[in-house]
């Protein structure tokens, strides 16, 4: 609560119907000049809530309700200069490795899922922003720019120490794609999970902390895994809270916090985690028909829900 200066723009024009505030008069102050002075009545409640973010580019808005309460919202939305139609772009090392339209469509769809989730979370923290109407704005705010998917023309083995992988995230705006990749639409949401997983890695770069910083998301997950190993990579045959195994809901088998985080990013984007199964192999549901999560599933969901909104704010403030 409280008023904060914002480039001198805090004096917003009230919308029609909003009460005009009276001049400030201290009723405890006795008048000294005139014996016929009558104190001016003061409205009972005037509440002003102002949230100010560092950038002040938009005009503040004043909203009013039927009560004498005035709520000032000064929460300027970051200006997006990038083309809203394209949140991902495609390039390649040479014409031998061009992208097919089908591959582009799959990657775009994965990115769209991420944009929708980010928009939903950002809207809760910033109700005056229009990210619900333009989810791509949410994506561009967080990632700072379009994310490029770049075909290197190399195999995973040649480019990395791993035998088989589809890609490697270079930074918040670039994901290398190897010749091992098989990006195709299988008419299932699972088609998009690899893209979402890579965007999970890119999100870490968008948050922008050095890997040794204790507030780095990977460090925080590492610490959490030390306290509860079921937040880490499950052994074969177990899910430990993931909604499925490799390669449906886990796009890596690597037992590192960075790879586990990228898979938990997918779980968070879809809000899908391991659910309880009854004796007939049917999902257990609550009174509203929603699936009941296993303890491990709930723990993974809680970890992401607890931290992601804070990390998103850091990513938005970062100039990537």
Residues making contact with Zn ion (CB under 5 A) = 252, 259, 262
| 202-237 per-residue burial string, b: 16 or more CB within 10 A, e: under 16 | bbbbbbbbeeeeeebbbbbbbebbeeeebbbbbeee
Minimum distance between the CB of residue 93 and Zn ion, rounded to whole angstroms? 21
Smallest separation (angstroms) from Zn ion to the CB of 246: 11
Q: How far is the CB of 197 from Zn ion (least distance, A)?
A: 6
Give the residues across from 293 on adjacent strands.
275
C-beta of 292: minimal distance to Zn ion in Å? 29
Q: Is 129 exposed, middle or buried (0-12, 13-18, 19+ CB in 10 A)?
A: buried
- What is the rounded distance in angstroms from the CA atom of residue 145 to the CA atom of residue 136? 10
* Of residues 195 and 252, the one with the C-beta less far from Zn ion: 252
Q: Are strands 147-151 and 88-92 parallel, antiparallel or unpaired?
A: parallel
Q: Which two tokens stand for residue 249?
A: 């809901």
The two tokens of residue 34 are 């005139």
- Between 75 and 259, CB nearer to Zn ion: 259
> Please, which residue, 205 or 259, has the CB nearer to Zn ion?
259
Question: Two tokens at 171?
Answer: 């930074």
Residue in 172, 109, 180 with CA at minimum distance from that of residue 151:
180
Q: Which residue, 80 or 258, is less far from Zn ion as judged by CB? A: 258
Radius of gyration, alpha carbons of the chain: 25
Closest to Zn ion by CB, 146 vs 251, is 251
Q: Give 52 or 165: the residue with its C-beta nearer to Zn ion.
A: 165
User: 312 is written with which tokens?
Assistant: 């998103």
Q: Shortest distance, CB of residue 193 to Zn ion, whole angstroms?
A: 11
CB 218 → Zn ion: shortest distance, Å? Answer: 12
Contact 238, 230 (CB under 8 A): no
């Amino acid at each position: 609560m409280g008023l904060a200066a914002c480039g001198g723009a805090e004096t917003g024009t009230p919308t029609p119907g909003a009460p005009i505030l009276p001049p400030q008069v201290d009723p405890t102050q006795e008048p000294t000049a005139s014996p016929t002075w009558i104190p001016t009545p003061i409205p009972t409640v005037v509440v002003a809530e102002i949230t100010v973010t560092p950038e002040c580019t938009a005009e503040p808005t004043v909203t009013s309700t039927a009560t004498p309460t005035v709520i000032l919202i000064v929460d300027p939305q970051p200006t997006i200069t990038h083309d809203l139609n394209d949140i991902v772009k495609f390039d390649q090392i040479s014409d031998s490795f061009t992208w097919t339209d089908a591959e582009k469509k799959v990657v775009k769809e994965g990115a769209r899922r991420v944009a929708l989730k980010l928009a939903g979370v950002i809207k809760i923290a910033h109700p005056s922003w229009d990210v619900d109407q333009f989810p791509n704005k949410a994506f561009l705010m967080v990632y700072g720019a379009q994310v490029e998917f770049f075909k290197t023309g190399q195999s995973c083995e040649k480019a990395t120490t791993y035998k088989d992988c589809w890609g490697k995230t270079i930074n918040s705006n670039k994901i290398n794609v190897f010749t091992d990749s098989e990006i195709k639409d299988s008419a299932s949401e699972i088609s998009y999970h690899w893209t979402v997983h890579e965007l999970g890695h890119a999100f870490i770069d968008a948050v922008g902390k050095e890997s040794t910083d204790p507030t780095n998301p990977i460090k925080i997950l590492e610490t959490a895994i030390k306290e509860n190993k079921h937040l880490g990579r499950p052994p074969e045959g177990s899910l430990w809270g993931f909604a499925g195994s490799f390669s449906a809901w886990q796009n890596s088998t690597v037992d590192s916090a960075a790879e586990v985080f990228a898979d938990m990013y997918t779980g968070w984007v879809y809000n899908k985690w391991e659910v309880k199964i009854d004796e007939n192999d049917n999902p257990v549901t609550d009174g509203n028909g929603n699936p009941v999560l296993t303890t491990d599933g709930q723990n993974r969901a809680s970890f992401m829900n607890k931290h992601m909104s804070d990390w998103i704010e850091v990513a938005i403030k970062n100039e990537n």
